[in-house]
Amino acid sequence: MTRNDSPKPNNFIHQIIEDDLSKGLNDGQVVTRFPPEPNGYLHIGHAKSICLNFGTALRFNGRCQLRFDDTNPEKESQEYIDSIIEDVRWLGFEWSGEVRYTSDYFEQLYAWAIHLINEGKAYVDSLSAHEMREFRGTLTEPGKNSPYRERSIEENLALFEKMRNGDFSEGECALRAKIDMAAPNMNMRDPVIYRVRHAHHHQSGDKWCIYPSYDFAHGQSDAIEGVTHSICTLEFEDHRPLYDWFIENLPVPVKPRQYEFARLNLNYTITSKRKLKLLVDEGHVNGWNDPRMPTISGMRRRGFTPASIRNFCDMIGVTRSNGTVDMGMLEAAIRDDLDANAPRAMCVIDPIKVTISNLAEGEQEWFELPAHPKDESMGLRKVPFTRNLLIEREDFAEEKPKKWKRLAPGDAVRLRGAYVITCNEVIKNEQGEVVELICSYDAATKGENPTGYKPNGVIHWVSADNSVACEVRLYDRLFTEANPDADKNRDFHEFLNPESLKVMVNARAEIGLKHAVAESRYQFERNGYFCVDPDSSEQHLIFNRTVTLRDSWAKIQAK
């Protein structure tokens, strides 16, 4: 691992570990792991788990391992594996040793399944999946024993070998642990530990046609790897007795313990991989790394920084109480980061032409502006003042409302870092749309307040003659409802925000951004924080809006 931050305040998991270390448990070692299933891209909820697992190892001078729990080849792919590896590294963490896979342990897991059969604690069941569900019972009624539960050890061994050899079709039989069909915990009612799956595996190829269940493979993989503290979300709390049962009934080299924490629930978001995949497959977004997606790769493309995500995870803390975090907190984390670290620039997103009538055609004056108003180390940037300028269309009102602080006919405004201009004439097209403003500039107002009149505010601008054309993508929240999954009678698709993306193709940015590189971030003055999209080029510069300067959604919620 590469980061070595100072210790953060204790959470309950850290307190457990400190108690274990004080008792001399685990030989004073702390070994954690981040064990994603490679069946989708990582999202913001995974970021919390990554920070907790890697951060815990860092705090206690231990090690954290990256393992792919790849027991379901039909839903997994190398694409997902590659994206997960990249995301973990981008967040600033490095795992101990090589990348691990549960599939590395398939032979050992198979041997342990045979061990359970020999101990009379596992059997091959020939019930169909439908029959198994019927026999399982309900939360209020106990299950019933399968008629195949008392097969002999010899018969089970022979059937299990035939399963491995591919002699059964999918669903024809399964290996189950023999625990207790009347257990109050449904997970303990003879869970399936091996299924027949004639599927090609991205790591082991066609070597196997049976695959272990997640519950069977997970804890044993932890044990093989010497994990001391298996940290997972609360949804696995009811699985812990099964985790412990396998550990106690198998000759594993070490005995890890499972601890659960509350998963991250973020409003205006869904984090179900199945639903996120639907959004991708149905074309509601442009891939897993669409900047509207809550995936780490999507957030990266949108302009979030690793530090902002780590800080956000620190802010929300680690508890055992489920709750929902406000999206505003995540957006505040990136605003704080970029306010301090993003250089400033001017970009006119929806331009209207301004002609400076008392400046000659071809005349040009360069202004030096700070790259950051609070950080002199970022230096200066140069912007040209020319006869033909561009300002935001929304910064002009032909009929100004009360308290209007921008440009209007006969009014004056200051151009950021330059002169005061006055609007003298408005030119419209045949449709009555304003297409050009004829203005004059006051040469005495360079760095000085005008005499005899007061400018009506400050607006940003760029030169129409010497600026760079760009496409600006204005991203917003993907859903209009704070909890798109709350109403079980309505589909989450109904709450997709039709305004989640607006593409502005006629934007112009100050000339110094001509060579801006992918993932570089800027504050566009008065417009928000923006990031250069990876698909950009000097011929087609694209900026993605990361976040606005202020939380406009807070006002919406307050209404």
Instruction: Answer yes or no: 263 catalytic.
Output: yes
CA dihedral over 125, 126, 129, 133, signed as positive or negative: negative
Listed in sequence order, the residues at least 6 apart from 177 whose beta carbon sits closer than 8 Å to its beta carbon are 116, 121, 122, 190, 191, 193, 216, 245, 246
Structure tokens, 392: 């935001």
Find the largest Cα–Cα distance for the chain: 103
Chain-centroid distance of CA 462 in Å reads 34
Q: Are 56 and 7 spatial neighbours (Cβ–Cβ below 8 Å)?
A: no
According to DSSP, the residues that pair with 365 across neighbouring strands are: 385
Element (H, E) at 392: strand 388-392
Backbone φ and ψ of 545, nearest 5°? -75, 125
Give the active site residue among 151, 273, 301, 344. Answer: 273
Going from the C-alpha of 328 to that of each of 176, 256, 267, 448, the distances in angstroms are: 46, 37, 9, 39
Nearest Cα neighbor of 344 from 549, 501, 552 is 549
Nearest Cα neighbor of 71 from 36, 44, 99 is 36
Distance CA 163, CA 138 (A): 29
Distance CA 258, CA 412 (A): 67
Distance CA 237, CA 257 (A): 12
Q: What is the DSSP string of 130-188?
A: HHHHHHH--SSS-----TTTT--HHHHHHHHHHHHTT-S-TTS-EEEE-S-TT-SSGGG
Describe the strand order of the beta sheet including 192-196 as a list of residue ranges.
122-125, 174-177, 192-196, 210-212
According to DSSP, the residues that pair with 245 across neighbouring strands are: none
Distance CA 519, CA 435 (A): 34
CB atoms within 10 A of CB 281: 9
Q: What is the DSSP string of 310-356?
A: HHHHHHH---SS--EE-HHHHHHHHHHHHHHHPPEE-EESSEEEEEE
Give the active site residue among 263, 275, 406, 477. Answer: 263
Distance CA 192, CA 124 (A): 9
β-pairing verdict for 351-356 and 388-392? antiparallel
Element (H, E) at 79: helix 78-90
Three state DSSP letters for 428-487: ECCCCCEEEEEEEEEHHHCCCCCCCCCCCCEECCEECCCEEEEEEEEECCCECCCCCCCC
In one-letter notation, the amino acid at residue 455 is P
- As annotated, the active-site residues are 37, 263, 273
